[in-house]
Copies of this chain bind each other. A is one copy, B any other.
Amino acid sequence: MGPKTTERNRLVLGSLIRHLHDFAREVELTIDEWMAGVHFVNAVGRIYSESGQTRNEAHRISDILGLETLVDEIAHKIISETGVDPTSSAILGPFWSPNAPFRENGGTIIQDPAPNGRICLMHGVVSDLLTGNPIPGAVFDIWQASSNGKYDFQDPENQTPNNLRGKFRTDESGKYWFYCYHPTAYSLPTNGPSYQLLQMMDRHPMRPAHIHIMVTHPDFKGCTTQLYPRDDPWLETDTVFAVKDDLVVDFKPLKGDEKAELELNYNVILAPKDYKGKLL
């Protein structure tokens, strides 16, 4: 590399190239295998391109190789020194949208009711790791697949843009509440390079049912994570390795609210922006 490379680029790309070469030497990579890899990389971007850039296959590949979860761990794992841990992070995944609208507490993210959707009142408090105080004005961004396992932009026949997406602001008591669906397990797409790779590894393409959330506030470290029903059969073998113990939750039957049959109470703990804690 030339003298004008930044120190970080020199470190990162140098390490990447070294590991790539070590890998090839270690397994004595054949020309056919290398060529298969080249075709694979082209196919990944081709799916992205031909989907109108809505299907982020490179993101998905890095997820099934466990890379996003690892990077997430490196970036976010805080072991607190107070006995209370902040809410664990989990991967963003390829379906977050910057365009989700703000909605009022008590509202619903269900724009397009789905046949088997089980409506759930989700609510909780966002609080400060250090003081335990509630955090008013935090943005609680939620997105989820519909009862057919598809997100809005995968399913234009049944869903309008921003169906099952929304941003809520916590009130004076740090509370948020809204209606959503009990989540549904789904398979990653089975017609592209990521599924080919899973098949080569004899792995299934299932993600456990989950709700994505991203909770942010200017004074706190944001938390992007996912919540999983405790009875989901795919928790142990999540194809993208994103399940953590404190993210497994209990949906409970709800009485006395004609709008929903289930309830989920989930509290989020954020660490202050400058909190160091112990990094993993």
Contacts and interface: CB of A to CB of B under 8 A. Distances in A.
Interface of A: 1-6, 9-13, 15-17, 19-31, 33-34, 37-50, 53, 56-59, 61-62, 65-68, 70-72, 74-75, 197, 200-203
5 contacts: A31-B75, A38-B58, A42-B53, A42-B58, A44-B44
A200 B38 contact: no
B1 A74 contact: no
B9 A15 contact: no
Given A38-B59, A42-B57, A66-B17, A74 B201 contact: no
Given A20-B19, A29-B12, A71-B31, A202 B50 contact: no
A33 B11 CA distance: 12
A43 B45 CA distance: 6
A34 B68 contact: yes
List the number of copies, as a whole number. Answer: 2
Q: 6 closest A-B pairs (Cβ-Cβ)?
A: A45-B45, A2-B202, A41-B58, A4-B202, A49-B49, A19-B19
Most B CB contacts (10 A, CB to CB) among A49, A61, A66 go to A49
Contact of A23 (B2, B15, B58): B15
Given A44-B41, A49-B46, A201-B5, A24 B71 contact: yes
A77 to B, nearest CB: 12
A201 B13 contact: yes
Contacts of A34: 62, 67-68, 71
Nearest to A60: B38
Nearest to A35: B59
Given A20-B67, A21-B67, A42 B30 contact: no
A142 to B, nearest CB: 20
A202 B48 contact: no
A66 B21 contact: yes
Contacts of A56: 38, 42
Nearest to A5: B202
Given A19-B23, A38-B56, A42-B44, 6 more contacts: A2-B201, A19-B19, A19-B22, A25-B70, A38-B58, A41-B45
